């Protein structure tokens, strides 16, 4: 198995982290780089465009370092702007694959057990992706899974098939 960086992008609560956790059962030593967890100690705490860009750059460099040392990783990060994803692809280089986890805003809000969307709609959370900050849908993702029209387990299986087709699993 060759190391890789699987960059999972999508709205909050679209299923990115759930899919990665499912993949960890089959991919030995798959490191999950979760955007929320990394933000706690790794990046600026605000959600301005500049801070989001900086956070994405830092995570991409961390993923590249893991790749360099032979560790496969899956990045679960909203990456709301096209520039985030293209910059990550540029930083990581060979071994990078972008997976768009497509799910409607309504379905993501329905899945939100933490109540983040409701807080954003009440104005308690500012610059929340999908509410008062845009999510630019990927135009050139290597893989698209639709977690609204299929179970998360089926989306995870599609990601496995994609990795197999690339000789990464």
- Active site positions, annotated: 79
Cβ distance 84 to 55 under 8 Å?
no
CA–CA separation, 44 and 53 (whole Å): 10
Cβ distance 34 to 17 under 8 Å?
yes
Phi, psi of 113 (to 5 degrees): -75, -20
Lookup: tokens for 152: 């998360």
Cβ distance 95 to 67 under 8 Å?
yes
| Alpha helix segments (H runs only) across 79-144 | 82-92, 105-111, 116-121
CA atoms within 13 A on the CB side of 40: 5
| Alpha helix segments (H runs only) across 43-92 | 49-68, 82-92
Phi, psi of 7 (to 5 degrees): -95, 105
């Amino acid at each position: 198995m060759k190391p890789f960086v699987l960059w999972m992008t999508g709205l909050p609560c679209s299923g990115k982290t759930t899919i990665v956790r499912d993949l960890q059962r089959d991919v030995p030593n798959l490191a999950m780089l979760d955007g929320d967890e990394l933000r706690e100690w790794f990046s600026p705490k605000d959600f301005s465009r500049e801070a989001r860009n900086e956070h994405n750059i830092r995570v991409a460099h961390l993923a590249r370092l893991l790749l360099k040392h032979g560790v496969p990783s899956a990045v679960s990060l909203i990456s709301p702007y096209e520039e985030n994803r293209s910059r990550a692809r540029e930083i990581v280089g060979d071994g990078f694959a972008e997976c768009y986890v497509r799910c409607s805003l309504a379905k993501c809000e329905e899945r939100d057990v933490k109540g983040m969307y409701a807080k954003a709609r009440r104005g308690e959370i500012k610059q929340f992706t999908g509410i008062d900050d845009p999510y630019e849908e990927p135009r050139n993702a290597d893989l698209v899974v639709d977690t609204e029209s299929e179970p998360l387990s089926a989306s995870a299986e599609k990601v496995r098939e994609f990795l197999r087709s690339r000789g990464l699993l």
